Chain A
Amino acid sequence: MKEFFRRRKLKNFYKLDENEIEQFKDIAREIRCSILTMVKEAGVGHIGGSLSITDILVSLYFKVLKINPKKPGWPDRDRLVMSKGHGAAAIYSALAEKGFFPKEELKTFGLINSNLQVHPDKNRVPGIEASTGALGQGLSIGLGMALAARLDRKDYYTFVILGDGETQEGQVWEAAMFASHYRIDNLTAILDYNNVQLMGNVSEIMEIAPVAEKWSSFGWEVLEIDGHNFDQIIESLYKAKEVKGKPTIIIANTTKGKGVSFMQNNCKWHGSVPTQEEYIKAMAEVKK
């Protein structure tokens, strides 16, 4: 219980300036539109879990990550591992917005011969750091990157985005143990806690709560935030980087299908494709 009370709850004390927030909101709107269009056009993809991580990705790519879209292979860049590979539509849109590849290419998502596979392939897309899709594997990969930085005495930082249902995989907890054992403090995990997975609510499919207590008892620093509040997201990312001697996880409370009323908190939208009518309605909502 001591650990439980020690973890920090973040309030809105990190304030971005208004212009910056507006700018981030604009980018997030663009990305949400791209996600809907990509999945609609391809007839395949994962809208719900892409919309829930959009604001986190904007914060990472447009504020926190030390990256250069013109030099995707720069050895000293920060790494972002999208462990929940089905968030591909979101990360592709973010990478295209950031300039890693032309936005035009988003139209090829999920099509034959496309670089934009429905789950990301690191060898096909600049900016994708790990090939993921089989759940539970990204945290371990991120830990390998963090260890490599330590061996090479480099100061790049690794972030790993985990799905909540994904943490039902045993490998995640093997990795959680490893991270604190090796006192990995150059990696932060971000949990997309939208509480919805393919077949229903996470708490009904296989309860993962109490999440904070679990990670804390595995030796992690735990931060809890509203995953759609830019001030909180960005503050937590910077705070996590300051934590020394142990790994940090940011539990981002998010909404699956964020921004589209009829998709929110509905497991149907984990992997469904909108009809033309639904698409028009959804686009109108995310553009607001």
Chain B
Amino acid sequence: MIAMREAFGKSLVELGRKNKDVVVLDADLASSTKTTYFAEEFPDRFFQCGIAEQNMMGVAAGLASCGKIPFVTSFAVFVTKRPADQIAVSVAYPGLNVKIIGAYTGLFNGRTGATHMAVEDIAIMRAIPGIVVIDPADTVEIGKAVQVIAKYDGPVYMRETRDEWPDVFDCDYEFEIGKAITLKDGDDAAIISCGVMTSESLAAAEKLKEEGINVRVVNMSTIKPIDREAIIKNALETGAIVTCENHNIYGGLGSAVAEVLVEEAPVPAQRIGIRDVLNECGTNRELMEKFGMSATHIMEAVKKVIKKKK
């Protein structure tokens, strides 16, 4: 098992070998985001921007307007919030081909605490018109997604989680922007999940099966554009939805799914995620338990939502 960031860093090098227009920008965190691999192999296409994210985003916009494919990398918390206006005006408004990579996502940031936790990055990026938002589930998906987003012409925000997490996909999985994948069948309820919460959701589903509850698990790594058809289909077929995300329950996957549900297929729903608090230092497992995001919490949410079914 390798860390998500390792998979990202290696895939970026592979992309760099295939496409000479790919350039990487960093704000003094390359050793953490693992763009160091790219920097070592392609020093001329790696731009250290110093701790100055607003300028970094603007430079990326200029590079993109001249045909380059910039990957702008830093911690999710810094690469989305500091230059939020630059992302909106310099990048998204003209629809430039900039790939924004936010590392160290949600609760899981190597015990660095609340200041380094991106709990609202998805919400902010999702609210800016024209940006694709992706939170990959495992090393396979993040590796594939790097290649796919480089081929997509337009602004993308993708999360890059730091550590090792259980893989949920086989190597032959093909990632597609905007397409949800059912990982486990079941009719009692559907868990719609993104990012590293997908493996936790699968663990919850396995335990629920032992209790005689058959719950479906759907990986919805693209939060925007959201896979409306998949949401409607799962709502109609199971009659109950639980969303799981490593993000504030406001504005992220849970909100995006709920928006589709109220418009198209109102069914009972529960949201698992960070409950509008800034967090603290701790191991990934400790934080998951403390902030209500472990398999146990997901199981409780599933049982609760099933009770609400008509």
Contacts and interface: CB of A to CB of B under 8 A. Distances in A.
Verify that A and B bind, or say they do not. yes
Interface of A: 75, 121-123, 129-134, 136-149, 151-152, 170-171, 174-175, 177-178, 181-182
Contacts of A140: 54-59, 61-62, 86, 90
B65 A129 contact: yes
Contact of B62 (A136, A147, A182): A147
A139 B66 contact: no
A133 B58 CA distance: 13
Interface string B63-74: 111111010000
Classify the secondary structure of A's interface with B: helix
B65 A141 contact: yes
Interface stretch (B43-51, B238-246, B290-298): B43-51
B59 A147 contact: yes
Nearest to A182: B47
A126 to B, nearest CB: 14
B95 interface: yes
The residue in A122, A129, A170, A178 that gathers the most chain B C-beta atoms within 10 A of its C-beta is A178
B82 to A, nearest CB: 10
B90 A148 contact: no
A276 to B, nearest CB: 35
A143 B23 CA distance: 14
Contact of B94 (A122, A177, A181): A122
B89 A171 contact: no
A147 B63 contact: yes
Interface in B81-97: 85-86, 88-90, 93-95
B60 interface: yes
Interface of B: 23, 44-45, 47, 49-50, 52, 54-68, 70, 85-86, 88-90, 93-95
Contact of A130 (B55, B60, B94): B94
A130 B47 contact: no
Contact of A148 (B68, B85, B95): B68
Given A136-B54, A141-B65, A178-B55, 14 more contacts: A75-B67, A129-B65, A134-B85, A137-B85, A144-B66, A145-B63, A147-B59, A148-B63, A152-B66, A152-B67, A170-B54, A177-B52, A178-B49, A178-B59
B66 A130 contact: no
Contact of B65 (A134, A145, A177, A178): A145
A137 B59 CA distance: 9
Contacts of B70: 144
A172 B88 CA distance: 17
A284 B95 CA distance: 42
A185 to B, nearest CB: 16
Contacts of B86: 137, 140, 171
Given A178-B50, A178-B52, A134 B62 contact: no
A76 B250 CA distance: 46
Q: Which 8 pairs across A and B sit closest by C-beta, in order of nearness?
A: A144-B62, A140-B58, A148-B66, A174-B55, A174-B52, A144-B63, A144-B59, A141-B62
Nearest to B70: A144
Contacts of A152: 66-67
B85 A151 contact: no
A175 B54 CA distance: 9
B50 A141 contact: no
Nearest to A119: B89
B94 A123 contact: yes
Contacts of A144: 58-66, 68, 70
6 contacts: A140-B55, A140-B57, A141-B62, A148-B67, A178-B52, A181-B50
Contact of A137 (B47, B50, B58): B58
A130 B65 contact: yes
B62 A123 contact: no
A131 B85 CA distance: 13
Given A141-B58, A151-B44, A131 B89 contact: yes
B89 A121 contact: no
